[in-house]
Structure 1
């Protein structure tokens, strides 16, 4: 057998998924500044019995081999809800996806991408978009700038050469996602402080902390706003009730009330902002393992993540208020409350906001106004497919 020959193996089942996940972990361990994630969580994401994403999606996982040795992996998947979205928002009829992309060299990358495209074409797809691993709500995009520092919670981290390999395979950039770095130890500029004070004087506006005692109801409110607020965004796919319930359970352990806000107008929830302490801080120390001593470090950190960086992964304002002065005022009020609590209660120095679509003018303007700066850039690519 030619030692340079590459073979692609479709994998499924518990053992196949485990090999797929472990191969990705091996690749991640070789990338500078990468942080090992919990293997159990990674296994759950590709398990149709555990991840409610598969209630409206189907996928095929592939592993590449050369001379009997695994040298790469990729997923090809189809989200039925994404197929129902307007094409101008990035997905729509005929749009399949690829994700979990890792390759030892460009030859392997080429074969993996070809295999994913062939599978999607045989399933009737006419366009491939990715990398999206595996839902748009999980890890979208390929890191193309920012490899020089460690990722924060729920953000992908990829070697620089992957972008060239994907582009050389005929993919072009469809969308750019940014994350912004923010120093939370200092007050916001005077203009922002005046906007916040004005909002605080408005008797109709209330910005309050989430209530963990009513967590299920709070999750319904937050994700209900999210489904409305993001519905016109590129790449939007609505969260299903099952995904909302699953997300609520997953998020509860890392939720601190002081860091998560809901804005109300006359008692009606109209906006929210979520902030998570960066669990990657502790995962880096425990090397992504809970045993034998990782549980102790994790539980202690969950109770009091003092000194942790923060990430603002999600915020939203109901569409009826978007593109108004009120929307930005609510955003500044929530950000300021969270900034003060992160700094004073948890002794945090920095936060990361994102991801933010490059053409989301409202959020980009807010990020600029509070003196944050782009520190990471992710690319999502697309390519037309030949008929299968």
Structure 2
């Protein structure tokens, strides 16, 4: 007969949490783990949110036990709603892959077994937000309306250049304020310190191509940026890397910069085409994000992801 126990874990995980728990079966086998956050979580209507992240389980039985325990713990600390999976905040890994599609996993994409979403549904969670990734196989596509946008921004003095990888940390320091201002209206946003923002990108340095990371500047100051990266998982599968992944587009929320995000995407795809790439993945877009409006015109949805929630009180 299986014996199970839940223990507080001292594991050193990449994101600090208010608690780490592991589920141990038959005295020494770890069959599940999660981290919990109840302090400094993002606002959501009148709720006090608790977060479950670093979630991993071996089977449905372990999932039921660990999710029940997580909800009980968060309720005991005054949370009225739990959201999962979120590794502390939306700057870190979050969302569950729920609609796999036929395309293989791409670099830096959330990945989990197909049945994990059932773990949350079986414990009374429901979908809180939905995200998609889309594939563009025509990098030469140009929306004619962007010609007017480009002309207007050029007349205003906005210039676009590639990131200098030799000065990576300095470049990240300069675009940090753009990221903070651009993302503060995002779903479940929480602020992040500059050193955390920089630390998130520096480990990716060996995988970057400067031509695929664009910075828009106005009067010498950054006002927008686009971060794209080759799909290195193609190389691991023995394939030629023919795909870029557009991960992040951030623009200062001022009227003068309207359309700049779409222009950066178009320029990045044109550059990728010149470099010999033939595909671009628009990654992890919230369904309510304006970027979905442009992407729908020429990119096909290939994947779906879900963020789950459960009301505790």
The answer, yes or no, to whether TM exceeds 0.5 is: yes
Counterparts of residues 219-234 of structure 1 (less than 5 Å): 219-234=172-187
Contact 2:38 2:77 in 1 (8 A): no
Q: Could you tell me how far 1:142 is from its partner in structure 2? A: 0.9
Q: Is the counterpart of residue 333 in structure 1 residue 287 in structure 2?
A: no
Alpha carbons 2:234, 2:240 under 8 Å: kept:
no
> Residues 201, 99 of structure 1: CA spacing in aligned structure 2 closer, same or farther, 3 A cutoff?
closer
User: Which string of whole-angstrom CA distances, capped at 9 and with x for unpartnered residues, describes residues 311-341 of structure 1?
Assistant: 11111111223xx7x422x123212221122
Q: Aligned-pair distance for 1:218?
A: 1.3
**What is the 5 A alignment of 1:1-388?**
2-3=1-2, 7-13=4-10, 17=11, 46-47=12-13, 51=14, 53-54=15-16, 57-65=17-25, 67=26, 70=29, 72-78=31-37, 80-82=39-41, 85-88=42-45, 94-146=48-100, 148-183=102-137, 185-192=138-145, 194-195=147-148, 198-199=151-152, 202=155, 204-284=157-237, 307-321=241-255, 326-328=257-259, 330-345=260-275, 347-360=276-289, 362-369=290-297, 371-385=298-312
Q: Is the 8 A contact 1:73 1:100 kept in 2?
A: no
- For the 8 Å contact 1:358–1:364, the answer to whether it is kept is yes
The change in CA–CA distance for 1:199 and 1:63 in structure 2 (over 3 A counts) is farther
* SS class of match (1:223): helix
Residues 100-133 of structure 1 deviation map (CA, whole Å, 9 limit, x = unaligned): 3333433322111101112222333222110123
- What residue in structure 2 maps to residue 20 of structure 1? none
Could you give the per-residue CA deviations for residues 267-318 of structure 1, whole angstroms, max 9, x where no partner exists? Answer: 3321110001123234456xxxxxxxxxxxxxxxxxxx97342111111111
- Say if 1:207 and 1:333, in contact at 8 Å, map to a contact too: no
Judged with a 3 Å threshold, the aligned counterparts in structure 2 of structure 1 residues 94 and 64 are, in CA distance, closer, same or farther, namely farther
Please list the CA deviations of residues 32-87 of structure 1 after superposition, one character each: whole Å capped at 9, or x if unmatched. xxxxxxxxxxxxxx53xxx4x42xx423132342x4574732313216442xx432
Aligned length: 313
| Aligned residues of 1:261 and 1:334 also touching (Cα < 8 A) | yes
Distance 1:319 1:280 in 2: 34
Moved more, 201-210 or 375-384: 201-210
| Pair 148,306 (structure 1): closer, same or farther in 2 beyond 3 Å | closer
Compute the RMSD of aligned alpha carbons.
2.7
CA distance in 2, matches of 1:190, 1:251: 31
